Amino acid sequence: MKSVLFRLSLLVVLAAVLVSGCAPAAAEPVTVEVTRVVEVEAAPVEVVVTATPAPVEEEIFRVAIVMPSSITDMAFSQSMYEGLLKVQAEMGGPEKMEIAYSEGMFKVPDAAAAIRDYASQGYNLVIAHGSQYGTSLAQIAPDFPETAFAWGTSLDTFQAQGITNVFAYQAEAQEGGYVLGTLAANMSASGVLGVSGPVEAGDAKLFVDGFKTGAMIAKPEAKVNISYTGSFSDVSLMAAAAETHIAAGADMLTGSSQSVVGAIGVAKEKGAKWFGAQWDQTNLAPDTVAASMVYDWTGVIKDMITSVKAGVMGGKAYTLTFKNKGLVIAYNPGVEIPADAKTAAEAAIQGIMDGTIAPLSGPKQ
């Protein structure tokens, strides 16, 4: 009797694990006839490979993406996913381009397993959308020379390690940060700006540093207070960080990572303005978000697809900049932005594009 009960309870636990496992769509088992190319080392005999589907189904291009947060994070992951959707639409819908994704892969071993799965399922392009996936990718990519991989944010395609099938991409977040900083400093009445980042590294740090530079150049007397929460997902602490900035006098706030949604709510409640990063966060607080730096990955995605179709499986490093239109400042028409602020921002964009402004140090002499 006892063992029956024990098994029952085990079942409940198992069911729980299953439900949770399914939800973030962990490398959904797409039933694809996997034809592994058998490689016989230095064998003189030609191995007859049974019907490689590539030539037959050439018109369908299969992309898979593995990302740390969710496709609705209003930030980093969503920007890439929506970019893929856009490209898919341009290419003629799901018949022409298939998109598979695994989200919520904040644990690197899980992500590595998903990347390997997609590669072995024959996806043409597998995107490892997180800086933390790099080491794993460098181990996986050489095992699948027929597959192209992409890794961001980074500029390292592992060419130094002799790997040829990895693209790299990175957003020059400091450019957008600089412009938003210019805008915020010009709009601020109190002269205090608050920035809350997730961790002091990578994309987030570039953005924060650019923001600070832009603000200080625009208004040397401005104060830019910076805090980090140490987490990409701690919404509650991010909200507290925003509260703290406002209490410290800030009337213009910004921040990055998916956890900023907590901060935006506080800004809304306390009447501060918000500057979004990575994704247009306007619809969360239409009266609060003044402008957002939006990542548009479509150019990068399209170029990677074209390259892969032409047989170039990697080796290129892309950046998103104002110049290549990968970075866009989206103004919220619902928030009134003073004309002089907007002029200053546009001038900053121009300066960055023509190289007269370095986003991490300011105008060049």
Q: Which residue spans within 270-356 are E strands per DSSP?
A: 273-276, 289-295, 317-320, 327-331
Picking from 257, 265, 315, the residue whose alpha carbon sits closest to that of residue 285 is 265
Please answer whether residues 178 and 194 qualify as being in contact, where contact means their C-beta atoms are separated by less than 8 angstroms.
no
- Compute the chain's Rg from CA coordinates: 23
3-class DSSP state for residue 259?
coil
Q: Per rule CB under 8 A, is residue 271 in the interface with other proteins?
A: no
Residue in 138, 235, 330, 360 binding other proteins, rule: CB under 8 A: 235
Tokens of 339: 């004309």
- Binding of residue 70 to other proteins (CB under 8 A): yes
By the rule CB under 8 A, 334 interacts with other proteins: no
278 lines the binding site for other proteins (CB under 8 A): no
2 sits near other proteins (criterion: CB under 8 A): yes
Q: CB under 8 Å to 182, separation ≥6 — which residues?
A: 214, 215, 217, 218, 341, 344, 345, 348
Helix (H) or strand (E) holding 239: helix 235-247
Q: With CB under 8 A as the contact rule, which of the stretches 34-42, 54-62, 221-229, 292-300 interacts with other proteins?
A: 221-229
Q: What amino acid is encoded at 89 in this protein?
A: A
- Minimum CB distance to other proteins, residue 281 (Å): 9
State how far the Cα of 214 lies from the Cα of 197, in Å rounded to an integer.
17
Q: How many residues does the chain have?
A: 365
- Contacts (CB under 8 A) with other proteins, residues 165-194: 194
The residue within the footprint of other proteins, chosen from 120, 190, 225, 324 (CB under 8 A), is 225
- What is the C-alpha separation between 117 and 111, in angstroms, rounded? 10
DSSP-derived secondary structure letter, 282: G
CB distance 255 to 263 below 8 Å: yes
Residue 312 within binding range of other proteins, rule CB under 8 A:
no
Q: Which residues 30-69 are close enough to bind other proteins by CB under 8 A?
A: 69
Among 21, 53, 94, 334, indicate the residue that binds other proteins (CB under 8 A): 21
Pairing mode, strands 317-320 and 166-171: parallel
What does residue 317 show for φ and ψ, rounded to 5 degrees? -115, 125
Q: Determine, following the binding rule CB under 8 A, whether residue 273 of this chain makes contact with other proteins.
A: no
Residue 226 found at the interface with other proteins (CB under 8 A):
yes
Distance CA 210, CA 204 (A): 10
Q: Should residue 19 be labelled a site residue for other proteins when binding is judged by CB under 8 A?
A: yes
For position 362 contacting other proteins by CB under 8 A, the verdict is no
CB of 32 or CB of 199, closer to other proteins: 199
Tell me which residues in 89-108 interact with other proteins (CB under 8 A): 104
Binder of other proteins out of 284, 330, 335, 358 (CB under 8 A): 284
**Count of residues of this chain found to bind other proteins when the rule CB under 8 A is applied:** 58
Taking the complex as a whole, the smallest distance from the CB of residue 216 to other proteins amounts, in Å, to: 13
Q: Which is nearer to other proteins, 86 or 316 (CB)?
A: 86
Determine the distance from the C-alpha atom of residue 51 to the mean position of all C-alpha atoms in its chain, rounded to a whole number: 37
Q: Which is nearer to other proteins, 70 or 332 (CB)?
A: 70
| 131 is an interface residue for other proteins by CB under 8 A | no
Interface contacts to other proteins, rule CB under 8 A: 1-2, 5-6, 8-10, 12-17, 19-24, 69-70, 72-74, 104, 194, 199-200, 225-231, 233-237, 239-241, 243-245, 247-248, 258-259, 261-262, 264-265, 268, 283-285
